[in-house]
Amino acid sequence: MRLSRSPSLRSGEYLEGMLSNYMGGVTNNNNYKPRPAQKATSSARLVTILTCLQFAFAIYATSLLYFMSPSIDLRTRLAQQWKQFTLMPPHIITHYQEEYSEKNIPLIPMNSSLVCEQEKIDFEQKKSNDAVMIKLKTDLYKEILDFQSNTFGTETLPELMAMESKWDSRVAATTPKVTVILNHFKRKTLCAQIETLLHQTLPFHHIWVLSFGSPNERNLKSIVESYNDSRISFISSTYDFKYYGRFQVALQTEADLVYILDDDMIPGTKMLQTLAHVAGTEKYENSVLGSIGRILPFRQKDFTFPSYRKFRSKEAGLYLPDPAYGITIDRVVRVDFLSSSWFLSAELVKTLFIETPFTFMTGEDLHLRYYLIFP
């Protein structure tokens, strides 16, 4: 505020009036009545308020950006941590379990009966009463078997077990480590598979239960946890890695051999020992072993392949074994590709990924067969 000077105002009074006006004081001069000056105090208060508002806005903007970030979900993270803290019991392995795990002795499942689900798989197939089809299929099988017997040799099970093998479970130094991979989606057969694997004559090294995009993930996880066995692990993902996923996981194994099973396959208690012995022979060490196989149809003149279901067609190939036509297997048969189960060395798994598959949707069995024949 500007202070005007009147002629009657002396220099001392003028200076006193200026100081009083600046400091908010009041003079005793009757002719001059200055107003209290609060401009400095108001400015300081305004600056303080604006600073606080700016700080609050910075905190709000930072929090907003954090919550809107696509890679971070604070609420989900906090909820998961709280759930693990309050609901997930610790996985406790007793000294008894550690000792038995190191010796590869199967553990007795604890409380698994409370969470196990059972599903009966009907292995019985309808018998064909078509005499023409039965003759076509059986004659074709006999023709193929005779050719393989004369060319490669087809051994029976006793003959296979009599062959020399580098994997001898009777000697600790030559006992192979086998990782079993169980791929599950909807079937309720996990308990049946684990039970028979726990009673194998050749103890497994690890069991990896896979659940990729399965609606039954929670139940599968509960079953695995109920066995409380450090050798049995549960691997899940909301994304479905399709048919190649189990082979991609198999690349991570530190075992010597890998046994991949679909959820409709229940192996016998001697399966691991038998397959490991055969895989250790010089003749079959680079082979993939299994229980179900296909011999591809004969290529037609137009370079197409007829369907296996083509009515009364010898060229449609074979599905082995095929009880519908009375075809059972009592010896080794070479097939074009396997289905439902694959037993192979860990090194052979790598051949599946020498080249990128044409599609990851299906065809892993044919892709594997191609690289085993043409490495």
Confidence (pTM): 0.67
Q: Would 264 be classed as within a structural domain?
A: yes
Judge if 34 and 140 occupy the same domain: no
* Domain-terminating residue out of 68, 85, 111: 68
The structural domain count of the chain equals: 2
Do 74 and 81 form a contact (C-beta atoms < 8 A)? Answer: no
- Long-range own/partner contacts, residues 227-231 (CB < 8 A, 24 or more apart): 227/107, 227/109, 227/110, 227/112, 227/194, 228/91, 228/93, 228/97, 228/107, 228/109, 228/110, 229/97, 229/101, 229/107, 229/109, 230/93, 230/97, 230/98, 230/101, 231/101, 231/204, 231/205, 231/206, 231/207
Judge if 54 and 157 occupy the same domain: no
Judge if 257 and 360 occupy the same domain: yes
Judge if 151 and 267 occupy the same domain: yes
Residue 158's CATH number? 3.90.550.10
What is the domain range of residue 185? 131-373
Judge if 64 and 153 occupy the same domain: no
Q: Would 80 be classed as within a structural domain?
A: no
**pLDDT string in tens for the chain (375-residue length):** 444 444 444 445 544 555 455 444 444 445 545 555 555 667 777 878 888 888 888 887 777 766 665 544 444 454 454 444 433 333 333 333 444 445 454 544 456 777 887 777 665 667 888 888 889 889 999 999 999 999 999 999 999 999 999 998 888 889 999 999 999 998 999 999 999 999 999 999 999 999 999 999 999 999 999 999 999 999 999 998 888 899 999 999 999 999 999 999 999 999 999 999 999 999 999 999 999 998 887 777 777 767 666 777 766 788 899 988 889 999 999 998 898 999 999 999 998 888 887 777 777 777 777 666 644
Judge if 63 and 167 occupy the same domain: no
